[in-house]
Structure 1
Amino acid sequence: MNYDNRDDMIQLTPLWQGERFPNGRPKVADDILRRMARITLEEAWGTLWNHGYTFQFEGDLKIIHPNRVMVGRAVTSVMVPKRPDLHDTLLHYGHGQENRNGFFNQWVIDTLQEDDVVVVDLFDKVHQGTYVGGNLSTAIAAKTKRGGAVIWGGIRDTQQIVGIEGINMYYRGSDPTAIADVTMVGLNTPCRIGKAICLPGDVVLGTPSGVLFIPPHLAELTVVQAEKSQVRDIFGFIRLREDIYTTAQIDSPWTVSIWNDFIGWLGSTEEASDFRQLTWDVELEEAGKAELQGGSGQVRL
């Protein structure tokens, strides 16, 4: 077996047709990551659920910075309990054949790039299952800038980690012991975090409620649908405060006249400036068809 294998990653992510890192990991665009940081968990989750991705969220985690959103591209690692023959074989292979240094967890962190998030299945081990402490968390911050880690296991040096700027950490528990008696059997392979599955290159959305793993081929669609929901809400709140429409009109599928009002507002108000890249041709076409067919002139997104 090889760690961080390019052919394996390309084989496992055939629906991704965009840019890749040299090792084959999908590279979702920086702009999508930036926009992803502004959407809510439920907005992103809804798109995945509706496309059949029903095991992408895990909420049973502790959080270093509960009110800080974390977004980045997944670098995955799978650890298992130590079996001496397997452990020695893989450790010697990594050192001798792949020129890696230190222990398994250090190998992963050495590969990180800007906007990456370490995602580790440590089989829920906390005592002697502390994947990072102060030093490795500092290295994660230096390499990823805005990333962090999701660890189905433990961390140590929690008081130090809290003070590290720019990253967040999701984990199962903390313990003063160092990591021991574990072996890495996968680097950038499919990875299980509680009830969720993560692949290398997934967009990791960490929120106060938990973590969502978004397949790269659905990342842009997820952002666009979430932004459309957000900007419609902004418009609706404004028009309700102005007493122009009733709650029934805003909550129901919009009429053609409301859609026209919305499009005009979108192009003229500063509050909507971050959403002007969105297009509404489909929604307007469907509203027009409904009106021509003698319906209410409404369309539901």
Structure 2
Amino acid sequence: MKFDNPEDIVQLTPLWEGERFENGRPKVPEDILRRMRKITLEEAWGPLWNRGYKNQFEGDLRIVHPDKIMVGRAVTAVMVPLRPDLHETLLKYGHEREGRRGFFNQWVIDSLGEDDVVVVDMYDKIYQGTYVGGNLSTAIATRTKRGGAVIWGGIRDIQQIVHIDGINVYYRGSDPTAIGDCTMVGMNVPARIGRTVCLPGDVVLGTPSGVIFIPPHLAEPTVVQAEKSQVRDVFGFIRLKEGVYTTAQIDAAWNVPLWEDFLGWFGSAEEAAEYRHLEWDRELEEARNSAHDGPGGSVRL
């Protein structure tokens, strides 16, 4: 076996058609990550759920900075309990064949780049399952700039980590012991985090509610749908305050006159300026088709 094997990573992510890192990991564009930081958990969850991705959210985690949003590309690791022969074989292989240094967790952190998030299946091990402490968290912050870690296991040195800028950490528990009695059996392979599955290159969105793993090929559609929901809500709040429409009109499928009112507002209102990269041809066409089909129409997106 090989750690961080490009052929395996490409095989695992065939639906991604964009740029990749040298190791084959999908490289979701920075602009998508920037826009992802502005959407809510529920706005990201909806498009995934509707496409059949129903095991992408995990909320049973503690958070170092619950008031901060974390977004980045997943770098995954899978750990298992210690079995001496397996442990020595894999540790020796990494050191001698792949030129890696230190313990397994250091291998992963040494591979990180800007906007990466470490996602570790530590099989819920907390005692001697502390994947990061103050030093490795500092290294994560330095390498990723805005990233962090999701660890289905433990961390240590929390009193140090809370003072490190540019990082957030989601974890199961804390313990003063160092990491031990465990072995890494996969790097940039599928990782189970509670009831979720994370693949290398997934966009990790960490919120006060928990984390959601967004497949790279769905990152842009998810952001676009979320942004459309946001700006429609802004318009709806304004028109409701003005008394132009009822809540029933705003919450139902929009008819053609309401869409035309929205698009006029969208093209000139200051509140809509940051959303003007969005296109609405499909929605307007659906409203027109619905008008031809009679009452009932389509459901609001």
Scaled to the shorter chain, the TM-score interval is over 0.9
Aligned to 1:87: 87
Contact 2:251–2:300, Cα closer than 8 Å, also in 1: no
Aligned to 1:268: 268
Aligned to 2:247: 247
Contact 2:74–2:199, Cα closer than 8 Å, also in 1: yes
Structure 2 CA distance for aligned equivalents of residues 294 and 33 of structure 1:
41
Letter matched to residue 251 of structure 1: D
Please report the TM-score for the alignment, with normalisation by the length of structure 1.
Answer: 0.98
Letter matched to residue 180 of structure 1: G
Task: Note if 1:46 corresponds to 2:46.
Answer: yes
Aligned to 2:157: 157
RMSD: 1.0
Contact 1:286–1:299, Cα closer than 8 Å, also in 2: no
Stretch moving more, 286-295 or 108-117: 286-295
Letter matched to residue 130 of structure 1: T
Aligned to 2:133: 133
Deviation at 1:226, TM superposition (A): 0.6
Aligned to 1:111: 111
Aligned to 1:282: 282
Residues matched between the structures, number: 301
Letter matched to residue 17 of structure 1: E
Task: Note if 1:23 corresponds to 2:61.
Answer: no
Contact 1:255–1:296, Cα closer than 8 Å, also in 2: no
Structure 1 CA distance for aligned equivalents of residues 169 and 298 of structure 2:
44
Unaligned runs of 5+ in 1: none
Letter matched to residue 192 of structure 2: R
Aligned to 2:77: 77
Letter matched to residue 74 of structure 1: A
Q: How does 1:288-299 map to 2 (within 5 A)?
A: 288-295=288-295
Contact 2:291–2:297, Cα closer than 8 Å, also in 1: yes
Q: How does 1:3-18 map to 2 (within 5 A)?
A: 3-18=3-18
Structure 2 CA distance for aligned equivalents of residues 80 and 297 of structure 1:
52
Q: How does 1:173-252 map to 2 (within 5 A)?
A: 173-252=173-252
Please report the TM-score for the alignment, with normalisation by the length of structure 2.
Answer: 0.98
**TM-aligned CA distance change 1:299 to 1:212, over 3 Å:** closer
Contact 1:256–1:298, Cα closer than 8 Å, also in 2: no
Aligned residues: percent identity? 74
Task: Note if 1:64 corresponds to 2:68.
Answer: no
Say which SS state the counterpart of residue 220 (structure 2) adopts: helix
Say which SS state the counterpart of residue 254 (structure 1) adopts: coil
Deviation by residue 1:216-266 (Cα, 9 ceiling, x = unmatched): 011101001111100000000000111111111111111111101100111
